[in-house]
């Protein structure tokens, strides 16, 4: 918890890619929040990455719903080998959250990275 997510995927060889995606869970009652920013970057050498898309989350409003949010980006087709996904953690719980004031920090839960 209280950490950014940085996931780098090596496709093993230069690969034609048309889309990149990832899903995040939000369950505020369990201190799990959507990231405040998601960045997709690509590389051919694994050292120099180019940011190709970023998503900024809307203002965090209280919610009792458990939901999954997908972040997807459609390239016009590009040959790449590495995909890096960075998700910035919200950090401290919002003031309206029951855990606020107890040094509470947010969690990020992610799954299903898709590269097609």
Count of structural domains, the chain: 1
For 51-110, what is each residue's pLDDT tens digit?
Answer: 999 999 877 899 999 999 999 999 989 999 999 999 999 999 999 998 888 878 999 999
CA distance 87 to 58: 14
For 22-52, what is each residue's pLDDT tens digit?
Answer: 999 999 999 999 999 999 999 999 999 999 9
- pTM, two decimal places: 0.93
- Say which CATH number the domain at 35 has: 2.60.120.1190
- Domain boundaries, position 30: 5-115
């Amino acid at each position: 918890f209280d950490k950014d997510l940085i996931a780098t995927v090596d496709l093993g060889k230069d690969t034609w890619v048309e889309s990149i995606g990832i899903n995040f869970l939000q369950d505020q009652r369990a201190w799990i929040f959507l990231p405040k920013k998601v960045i997709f970057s690509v590389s051919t050498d694994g050292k120099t990455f180019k940011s190709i898309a970023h998503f900024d989350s809307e203002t965090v409003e209280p919610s009792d719903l458990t939901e999954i949010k997908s972040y997807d980006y459609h390239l016009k087709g590009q040959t790449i080998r590495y995909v890096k996904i960075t998700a910035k953690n919200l950090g401290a719980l919002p003031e309206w959250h029951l855990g606020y004031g107890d040094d509470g920090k947010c969690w990020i839960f992610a799954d299903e990275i898709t590269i097609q």
